Structure 1
Amino acid sequence: DADEIKIVLSDKREFKGKIVGSDPKTDLAVVKIDAKDLPTIQIGSSGKLKTGDVVLAIGNPFGLNQTITMGIVSAVGRSNVGIADYEDFIQTDAAINPGNSGGALVNTSGQLVGINTAIFSTSGGYMGIGFAIPLDMAKTVMDSIIKTGKVTRGWLGVSIQNITPDLAKSLGIKDTSGALVSGVMKNSPAEKAGIKRGDIITELDGKTISDSRILRNMVADNAPGKTVTVTVMRKDKKELLKVTLGEFQDTKVAKKADFDFDNLLKDVVVQDLTPDLRERLNIPSDITGVVVAQVAQDNPALNALQQGDVIMELERKPVANVKEYSEIVSKIGAKDGVLMLIYRDGATIFITLRP
C-alpha cells in the first residue's frame, strides 16, 4: 500500500523501487530496482533446517541498519500464528525487533534460509520468539511473481481437518496423522479423481502428510494443471488416486445471521432447514440436515457445536430433518463419544461430542 518505495544499500546508494507483484497470503512482495554491480546472497534451503541449528537475523531495528543477532532454530513448521493465510514459519530465538521484518535469516554458512517477518510479544519488543518465512516457500512465491506477475496456487477442492484423538477413536483408527476429508466440492479436481468425504489423505506424490496444514501448503506449492498422486486411506484400505490440480480462487463466505428458535430436542435445540432459513443463513442447496438453534449452557456439546451449524450426519447416518435426528439420537445408546458431520461457515467438518 506504499505510495513510494526507496531502497538503500549498505554502500549508501539509493534507488526507487517498483513493485513487480505481491502476495498478501504469505506477506511477501517482489520489488525491482534498476542498478548495476549489486551484491547478492547465496541461496540455501530452509527444508534442511533442524531444531537447534544456529541462525543469524539481519535487519534494521529502530533504524540501526545492518544489525545482526544470533540464535537457534526453536522450531520449524509453525502454523496457527495468525500472521498469514499460508503459514509454515521458522521459529527462532534470534532477537527480532520492529524494523527486522523483511530482513534475512541466514545459516552459519551465510546462506539465506528465511525472511524475518514477525515477533510474538506482549510488550512490542523482543521476548525470545520470532518468526521467519522459510526460503523454500518464499522462492516459490518469488518465481511465480517474476514469471507471471502474480501467485498461482494448486487447488484440490476439499475441506480438510486434523485428526484429533477423539476423532480417531470415533473413526476407529489408531493413527492421528494425515488430513481428514470432511467435504468434497462439486466438479472439483478431488471429486473428479474419486476422493470422498471421510477419506484420510496420507501422502501427496509420495511425501507424507502429517496434518492438514502440510497438505494445504503442498497442494498450493504445485502449479495448476499438474497431475499428482494422492494416497488415501478408505475403510482401512490404501488407494492411490491421480488428481489434476485446478487453480485456487479466493472466495468469500457470507456471515451467519442471528436467529432464535424454540424447538427443544434434548439439550441441543435443532430446527428443520426450511427454504427461508437456508436463504437467511446462505446455506448451499446441496447441504441437507438440521440447524442448531441453541445449545444448553451446561451441555458439553457447547464447546463443539455453535448456533447456526447444520448437522448433516450423526454417527455416519444422514440427517434430513428433526424427526430423523431425534430417531437417531434415541438409538445411540451408551457411548463415550458421538461423531457428527456439520456444515459451518462454508465448510463441512467432522466433530466428536463427548458426554
Structure 2
Amino acid sequence: MNKMSIICSSILLSTTLAMASLPAQANLPLQLNGQQMPSLAPMLEKVTPAVVLISVKGTHAQQQKIPDAFKFFFGNPRQNQSRERPFRGLGSGVIIDAEKGYIVTNNHVIKEADEIQITLKDGRQIEAKKIGADESSDIALLEVDPNNLTEIKVADSDKLRVGDFTVAIGSPFGLGQTVTSGIVSALGRSGLNNDNYEDFIQTDAAINSGNSGGALVNLRGELIGINTAIIGPNGGNVGIGFAIPSNMVKNIISQILEFGEVRRGVLGVSGYSVNGEIAKAMELDASQGGFVERVAPNSAAEEAGIEAGDVITQVNGKRVKGFSELRGKIGSIGAGKDVELTVIKANGKTKTYTVTLKKAENANIEPASIHEMLDGAKLSNQTNALGVIIESVEEDSPAEVIGLRKGDIIAGVNKVTIKNIAELRDYLAEIKGISLLKIIRGNTILYVRIR
C-alpha cells in the first residue's frame, strides 16, 4: 500500500469513527469539530408551506390572417380573423395573509385564466379567484378558502443591500417546489419593459420558468420580493433573475384591497436618466438621478414647485439611480399620498419637496371577481363622487344580459350606498341569493337584479 492510500484510509477511518460516536438521533443537526453545521433547513421548514404551485386553464383569441381573395368564402371577415385557443400554464404564488386566504403572484401567470387551481405543499388542491391585478407592475392578488394556511412575513425591501443573501422558492418547470440560494446582485434595475413600472431586485439565485410569482426571501425567512423575470437563453437561468420588491408589492396590494383598483400616483414629469454626458452639459454635481425634461401643466410636480432642469436624486430619502427607477417607485405609490423628493436645482442647490401625487386614470379590477354577472363590464371609481361607473360593456356578456350599459353608475346594493369598487365587492361577497343593484342612468334611477 502506497503512502497516499494509507492517508486516504486513515481519513476514512477517522470520519467513520466520528460519525459512529454521534448520538443516534435522526433530528440532531450535523456537527463538525463540535460545531453545528450551518443550514437553511430550519428556516425553510417554516417558510416553504407559504409558497404554492399555481395551475391555470383558459382560452385566448388567436388572430387568423385570411387572404383577401378568400374572405368571400368565409362570410363575415370579423368572425374569421380570430379563434379561441385553449391554454394551460404553471407558476408560483405566495400566501401573504393566512386568515383571509390572500395569495400574491405575477399578473402574467394568471392573465386570461378561466380556472385557477392552487396546490399547497401538503398536496391539497383548492380553487382560487382573482381579486384584482395590475398589469403595469405585473402583480395579481388571488383569494382561496382560508383553511389551515401558512403565511409569510413581509420584510422592508428598502433595507436591502447588495450582497445580502437571498433564497428563491418556487416550482420551476412544474417539477415541484424547489429552493435555490444566492445574493442580491443589484438594486433598482429597470429597462426590461419600458411600458411597465420597474424597480427590480437582481439576484443570482437560480430562477427558471415556473418560478414566476414565487418568493424571494432573506435568511430570516421574510419576503423581500416576488420572482418575476429571467434573462437567459430560452428563459433559462444564467445567474441573472429579477424580483419585484416587497414594498412595491405591498403598495399595489393595499390599493387593490382598499379601492378595488390600483390608484397609481402620478408625478407629472418626463425626462431621462442622468449620465456623464448630461452631467457635463448641465454642469451637475450629480452623476445619477432623474433629469426632469418637462413638467406637465397642473401636475403634482408643478404644484409642488419642481421645474424643468431639476434632477430628482431621492424618493422618501432613498437614492434613485435613474429616471426608470424614479418612475417605478412613484408608480407604486398611491394617488393622494405625499412623497418627499430630494432635488438638485439648476443653480446647483439641493432642495426637498413634499409632493401630493395625483391619480392616473385607469381601472385594474376584475369584474367577474366581484360578481359573475358583472363579467364583461369595465368598472372604475368616480373621481369626485360616490359610486362605481361602468365605462364599457362587452357584447353578449353577462353584464349586458342583465341590462347594464356604458355610463351607468352603480350607486348601491339593495338599500346600502356604495362608495367605490372595494365596497361593492365586499358587500356582494356577504350577500347570499338575489341582490338588487341601484343604477343611476342619466336622470333615471332603476334597479337591476343579480343572483
Structure 2 counterpart of 1:58, which letter?
I
2:192 aligned with 1:78 = no
Contact 2:285 2:348 in 1 (8 A): no
Alpha carbons of 1:175 and 1:5: their partners in 2 closer, same or farther (altered >3 Å)? same
Residue in structure 2 matched with residue 99 of structure 1 by the alignment = 210
Residue in structure 1 matched with residue 147 of structure 2 by the alignment = 36
Q: 1:233-267: CA deviations, max 9, x gaps?
A: 132334444433211236xxxxxxxxxxxxxxxxx
* Aligned ranges 1:198-277 → 2 under 5 Å: 198-232=309-343, 233-249=345-361
Counterpart Cα distance in 1 of 2:350 and 2:161: 31
Residue in structure 2 matched with residue 331 of structure 1 by the alignment = none
Partner secondary structure for residue 169 of structure 2: strand
Alpha carbons of 1:76 and 1:206: their partners in 2 closer, same or farther (altered >3 Å)? closer
Structure 2 counterpart of 1:125, which letter?
G
Partner secondary structure for residue 235 of structure 2: coil
Counterpart Cα distance in 1 of 2:132 and 2:338: 27
Residue in structure 2 matched with residue 19 of structure 1 by the alignment = 130
Q: Using the TM superposition, give the Cα deviation of residue 159 of structure 1 relative to its aligned residue in structure 2, in angstroms.
A: 0.8
What 5-or-longer segments of structure 2 have no aligned partner? 1-111, 363-451
Residue in structure 1 matched with residue 156 of structure 2 by the alignment = 45
Partner secondary structure for residue 70 of structure 1: strand
Residue in structure 2 matched with residue 284 of structure 1 by the alignment = none
Counterpart Cα distance in 2 of 1:26 and 1:158: 19
Q: Using the TM superposition, give the Cα deviation of residue 19 of structure 1 relative to its aligned residue in structure 2, in angstroms.
A: 0.4
2:254 aligned with 1:171 = no
Pick one of 269, 290, 314 that aligns with 1:158. Answer: 269
2:250 aligned with 1:139 = yes
Contact 2:191 2:324 in 1 (8 A): no
Moved more, 36-45 or 213-222: 213-222
Partner secondary structure for residue 277 of structure 2: helix
TM-score relative to the length of structure 2: 0.52
Counterpart Cα distance in 1 of 2:140 and 2:325: 23
Counterpart Cα distance in 2 of 1:17 and 1:83: 31
Alpha carbons of 1:84 and 1:186: their partners in 2 closer, same or farther (altered >3 Å)? closer
Q: Using the TM superposition, give the Cα deviation of residue 85 of structure 1 relative to its aligned residue in structure 2, in angstroms.
A: 0.8
Alpha carbons of 1:4 and 1:83: their partners in 2 closer, same or farther (altered >3 Å)? farther
Q: 1:128-171: CA deviations, max 9, x gaps?
A: 21111111111111111122221112111111211222222221
Partner secondary structure for residue 65 of structure 1: coil
Structure 1 counterpart of 2:347, which letter?
K
Alpha carbons of 1:123 and 1:217: their partners in 2 closer, same or farther (altered >3 Å)? closer
Counterpart Cα distance in 2 of 1:229 and 1:71: 33
Contact 1:26 1:84 in 2 (8 A): no
Partner secondary structure for residue 313 of structure 2: strand
Counterpart Cα distance in 1 of 2:194 and 2:283: 35
Structure 2 counterpart of 1:157, which letter?
G
Partner secondary structure for residue 69 of structure 1: strand
Contact 1:6 1:15 in 2 (8 A): yes
Structure 2 counterpart of 1:130, which letter?
G
Counterpart Cα distance in 1 of 2:231 and 2:320: 27
Contact 1:27 1:84 in 2 (8 A): no
Counterpart Cα distance in 2 of 1:228 and 1:45: 17
Alpha carbons of 1:202 and 1:123: their partners in 2 closer, same or farther (altered >3 Å)? closer
Q: Using the TM superposition, give the Cα deviation of residue 205 of structure 1 relative to its aligned residue in structure 2, in angstroms.
A: 4.4
Structure 1 counterpart of 2:224, which letter?
V
Structure 2 counterpart of 1:79, which letter?
S
Structure 2 counterpart of 1:62, which letter?
F
Partner secondary structure for residue 81 of structure 1: coil
Q: Using the TM superposition, give the Cα deviation of residue 215 of structure 1 relative to its aligned residue in structure 2, in angstroms.
A: 2.5
Alpha carbons of 1:221 and 1:118: their partners in 2 closer, same or farther (altered >3 Å)? closer
Alpha carbons of 1:243 and 1:20: their partners in 2 closer, same or farther (altered >3 Å)? same
TM-score relative to the length of structure 1: 0.65
- Aligned-pair identity (%): 47
* Aligned ranges 1:310-349 → 2 under 5 Å: none
Higher helix share: 2
Q: Using the TM superposition, give the Cα deviation of residue 208 of structure 1 relative to its aligned residue in structure 2, in angstroms.
A: 3.8
Contact 2:255 2:334 in 1 (8 A): no
Residue in structure 2 matched with residue 66 of structure 1 by the alignment = 177
Contact 2:272 2:291 in 1 (8 A): yes
Partner secondary structure for residue 128 of structure 2: strand
Counterpart Cα distance in 1 of 2:324 and 2:181: 29
Pick one of 297, 302, 305 that aligns with 1:186. Answer: 297
Aligned residues: 251
What 5-or-longer segments of structure 1 have no aligned partner? 251-355
Greater Rg by CA: 2
Partner secondary structure for residue 140 of structure 1: helix
Residue in structure 2 matched with residue 316 of structure 1 by the alignment = none
Moved more, 106-115 or 171-180: 171-180
Counterpart Cα distance in 2 of 1:9 and 1:102: 14
